[in-house]
Amino acid sequence: MVLRVERRVHVAPTLPAASDLLARRLVAYARSIVAERDRFRLVISGGSTPLGLFRRLAGPYRRRMPWTRTELFFADERCVAPTRPESNFGSARQAFLARVPIPRARVHRIRGELRPLPEAARRYEAVIRRSRGVRAGDGPLFDAVLLGIGPDGHTASLFPGQPSLRARRAAVVAVPRAGQPPHVPRISLTLPALSSAGAVWFLVAGDDKRAALARVFGPPGRSRSALPAALVRPSTPTEWFVDAAAARGIPVRARSAG
């Protein structure tokens, strides 16, 4: 019997080194997808961890990334105006979107400032479906999804124990209460949507993520199944780009060379 490998781990000494590994992986994958289908559909997440990666994509990797053929989506958004410092879109725009030649019409931000929240979620799902141009069920929604993990095991804005984890038909949900700061309402892609990708990559750094990674990579059981990050299950193995501090929570047997 052949067991499907669920995760591949790449350990680097520091977050900048892990970000560089992921940047090279992302660019090579994007170029291969564009050569095959002429369009690369990428989902990015917020937080501080991916900002160095974003700056690399706007710097040393800018000319290698097929920006004019890239379509960009967001894994989640805080329900604030895009000019607020808490906005994932605002952070991404400052870090790299304003400095790369991606067509503005292909940057699909979540309008977190809209009310009511369920309507904002429905509108973003409509954007995803419409931009895809095919019927639901005709292959993955996205080519690649970039995620992180919180100390509590959350990913995107899917937090442990919340009803949003049970969404199965919707691609986007409203999250009225965030489980981690900033404690503002969120809009998030669901587990089925995050899993509907040709590739899913996690970028993780810091000693505060060690305990969560120990649970993700530990033996199957209730402890692991309660973590949203462990519930993102695409048809291909997820890839984890991890700095040395966070990697101390991963069993040595699960690691691979960067």
What domains lie within the chain, and their CATH numbers? 14-250 (3.40.50.1360)
State residue 138's pLDDT score.
67
Q: What is the pLDDT of residue 170?
A: 96
> Which two structure tokens, joined as six digits, stand for 57?
């994509």
Q: Is the pLDDT of residue 1 over 70?
A: no
Overall average pLDDT of the 174-178 stretch: 93
Model pLDDT for residues 181-228, shown as the tens digit of each residue: 888 999 999 999 999 999 999 999 999 999 999 999 987 765 556 899
Q: pTM to 2 decimals?
A: 0.93
Q: What average pLDDT does the chain have?
A: 91
Is the preceding omega at residue 182 within 30 degrees of 0, hence cis? Answer: yes
Integer CA distances (angstroms), 39 to 56, 69, 76, 105, 124, in order: 21, 5, 22, 14, 20
Element (H, E) at 27: helix 15-37
Region of poorest pLDDT, from 5-9, 32-36, 53-57, 145-149? 5-9
Question: Measured between alpha carbons, how far is 208 from 192 in angstroms, rounded to an integer?
Answer: 27
Q: Which of 189, 164, 190 is nearest to 177 (CA)?
A: 164
Q: Which residue has the higher pLDDT, 20 or 138?
A: 20
How many Å apart are CA 216 and CA 44, to the nearest integer? 21
**What's the pLDDT at 165?**
95
pLDDT value at position 139? Answer: 79
- pLDDT-derived band at 180, boundaries 50, 70, 90: confident
Structure tokens at 203: 């970028």
Q: Encoding tokens for residue 90?
A: 């605002």
Strand runs labelled E in 80-148: 107-108, 142-147
Q: Which structure tokens are listed for 148?
A: 């992180």
Q: What is the mean pLDDT of residues 71-86?
A: 95
Question: What's the confidence (pLDDT) of residue 254?
Answer: 65
